[in-house]
Amino acid sequence: MAETEGGGARIDGTEVAKRVRGEVRRRVAGVADRVRPGLATVLVGDDAASAVYVRNKRKACAEVGIESIHTELPATTAQATLLAKVDELNARDDVHGILVQLPLPEGLDEKEVIDRLSPEKDVDGLTPVSQGRLLAGTAGLRPCTPLGVMRLIDETGVDPTGKRAVVVGRSLLVGKPVGLLLLERHATVTYCHSRTADLEAEVASADILVAAIGRPKAIPGSWIKPGAVVIDVGINRTDDGLVGDVDYESARLRAAHITPVPGGVGPMTIAMLLSNTVEAALASVRG
């Protein structure tokens, strides 16, 4: 992982994700006499990007020995039909995780569909019940990208306990849950967002910085505290290709550890989805 040509160590998310997938594969093999983990994917409509994402998830399942149960529905699917499909998957014993690929086509009520998922099968960690469990600190499935962020921080060997962690972004999918996971690990957490009065000062105070705002290179390297751990969740398409929320080239001169974009947080999301599916399967046989 440690590559230091004149800057901080690059955290290689591709390599860590590969390692996590290897761990999952060994766990799947280890529990084979008790349960065969199964992940149901539901793809509604014909969005090309969504189709690619779902294909990648199914391929990743196959590689680690997770059964992939796939449903494709037309964009014209009625809300009631989709809800009935979720009910059916909720009831199936061979399905331990359910992933309804988002966004859903126009006309479908995403929130109602997500709310219908059994929290025990909510491997995306998106249901209000999963979010409540995270807030309460009780057992439950946590969202995949935030789990990936935590795993990358752990890979650096930096213990969040007592550290100043600054999360830039407050989305339900990433920012909010990452802050809660850092709090659970005893960091002193600050949330920043578009109304934050002095973002530079907040960022400059961060021992651990998580950037999840979706604005290309919004955080210049000169703001980074020397020695910080920088996790960049941003994936922004620009004329220069994919870039993160942090200006990587200048930030890596100050950070001790930093994730690149691409090849940082991105590959972790599917790896943690596989891990969540095995957790859900094991919880189902534990009863």
Residues that bind ligand GUN (CB under 6 A): 53, 99-102, 124, 144, 269
Is 57 among the residues known to form the active site?
Answer: yes
Least Å distance between CB 143 and ligand GUN? 8
Tell me how many helices (H) and strands (E) the chain has: 10, 11
Least Å distance between CB 285 and ligand GUN? 24
Q: Which residues of 162-192 are buried (b: 16+ CB within 10 A; e: fewer)?
A: ebbbbbbbbeebbbbbbbbbbbebebbbbbb
Q: Which residue in the shown chain puts its C-beta closest to ligand GUN?
A: 102
> Hey, what's the torsion of the CAs at 260, 261, 263, 269, to 10 degrees?
110
Least Å distance between CB 136 and ligand GUN? 23
Cβ atoms within 10 Å, residue 116: 18
Considering beta carbons, is residue 124 or 202 the nearer one to ligand GUN?
Answer: 124
Task: Report the residue count for the chain.
Answer: 287
Residue 99 · residue 90 · CB < 8 Å: no
Gap between the Cα atoms of 189 and 217, Å rounded = 22
Considering beta carbons, is residue 145 or 259 the nearer one to ligand GUN?
Answer: 145
Considering beta carbons, is residue 102 or 282 the nearer one to ligand GUN?
Answer: 102
Least Å distance between CB 269 and ligand GUN? 6
Is 87 among the residues known to form the active site?
Answer: no
Considering beta carbons, is residue 54 or 255 the nearer one to ligand GUN?
Answer: 54
Report whether the peptide linkage leading into residue 103 is cis, meaning its omega lies within 30 degrees of zero.
yes
> Residue 153 gets which letter from DSSP?
H
Q: What letter represents residue 199's amino acid? A: L
Active site residues: 57, 101, 124
